[in-house]
Amino acid sequence: MSSNIINLLWESFLETLLMVGISGGLGAVIGIPLGVFLFVTSPKGIMPKPFMNRVIGTIVNAIRSTPFIILLVAIIPFTRLIVGSSIGTVAAIVPLTIAAAPLIARLVETSLREVDKGLVEAAQSMGATNVQIITKVLLPEAMPGILAGLTIAFVALVGSSAMAGAVGGGGLGDMGIRYGYQRFMPEVMAAVVIILIVFVQSLQSFGDWAVRRASHR
């Protein structure tokens, strides 16, 4: 394999890292509060608002049920409005973020549901406000589950970023399609697959470590 191909693989990996890192970070910033909202406004939540919960939940489910490749194409006008282009690494961050946020929201909501209701009731009996219950009870207790959910989301984003590469999103997916498939270079495709496997394994290992740290606390 030539040094030029190796350099391209490195640049493609950095593009994938950029896409996954930024979209995952933005997805978490949007998804975690959204997941908390879905939990606390549910009929049995501490601030029940069934109508708003149903509306937001429907939107979240609609985005989650849309295959990423279709979502990627469907929001091209929105992507152009935000970043001025629908092609390239920066442009791919927009649909990746939109895909990540609802997934993270549902994972956070699921983690919050696993918190012992007795802890919430004890906090309420001591006069804790809803904000205090969320920040001092629910989020700390659910943190291992939330971190595990974020790990799942970041791993899923690696696959989605590769899919974005198939339509000009850049990154390892683009490298695999352009060189490994279209130019019949199986060694490039193999290298892309190996890099993706190592990347995903690294993400999973780091996520597992973070979950263990949070659990020990």
pLDDT at 88: 83
Q: What is the pLDDT of residue 175?
A: 86
* pLDDT level of residue 216 (50, 70, 90 thresholds): low
Q: What is the pLDDT of residue 217?
A: 60
Q: Each residue of 25-55: pLDDT tens digit?
A: 999 999 999 999 999 999 888 999 999 999 9
pLDDT above 90 (res 180): no
Residue 56 CB partners (closer than 8 Å, separation 6+): 34, 37, 38, 41
Q: In this structure, what token pair is assigned to residue 198?
A: 């190592």
Q: Average pLDDT, stretch 7-34? A: 94
Q: Is the pLDDT of residue 108 over 90?
A: yes
Q: What is the pLDDT of residue 173?
A: 85
Tell me which residue has tokens 């999973």: 204
Question: If you average pLDDT over every residue of the chain, what do you get?
Answer: 90
Q: How buried is 88 (Cβ within 10 angstroms: 0-12 exposed, 13-18 middle, 19+ buried)?
A: middle
CA dist 217 and 13 (Å) reads 34
pLDDT band at 69 (very low <50, low <70, confident <90, very high): confident
Instruction: Specify the pLDDT at position 207.
Output: 95
CB 193 within 8 A of CB 175: no
Dist. CA 46–CA 59, nearest whole Å: 22
**Measured between alpha carbons, how far is 205 from 212 in angstroms, rounded to an integer?**
11
pLDDT tens digits along 123-168:
989 988 999 999 999 999 999 999 999 999 999 999 898 888 777 7
**What pLDDT score was predicted for residue 42?**
93
Average pLDDT over every residue of 114-128: 90
State the Cα–Cα distance between residues 18 and 193, nearest whole angstrom: 18
Amino acid 176: pLDDT: 86
CB of 89 closer than 8 Å to CB of 15: yes
With cut-offs at 50, 70 and 90, classify the pLDDT of residue 206: very high
Q: State the pLDDT at residue 1.
A: 64
Task: Give the sign of the dihedral formed by CA 4, CA 199, CA 90, CA 182.
Answer: positive
Q: Please check the confidence at residue 169 and state whether its pLDDT lies above 80.
A: no
Residue 56: both structure tokens together:
């937001």
From 24, 200, 22, 209, select the one nearest 107 (Cα to Cα).
24
Mean pLDDT of all residues in 69-80: 90
Q: Enter the pTM of the model.
A: 0.91
For 152-185, give one letter per residue: b (16+ CB within 10 A) or e: bbbbbbbebbbbbbebbbbbbbbbbbbbbeeeeb
88: left (phi over 0), alpha (psi -120 to 50) or beta: left
Closest by CA position to 46, among listed 107, 106, 124 = 124
| Domains of the chain and any CATH numbers | 3-216 (1.10.3720.10)
The pLDDT assigned to 62 comes to 94
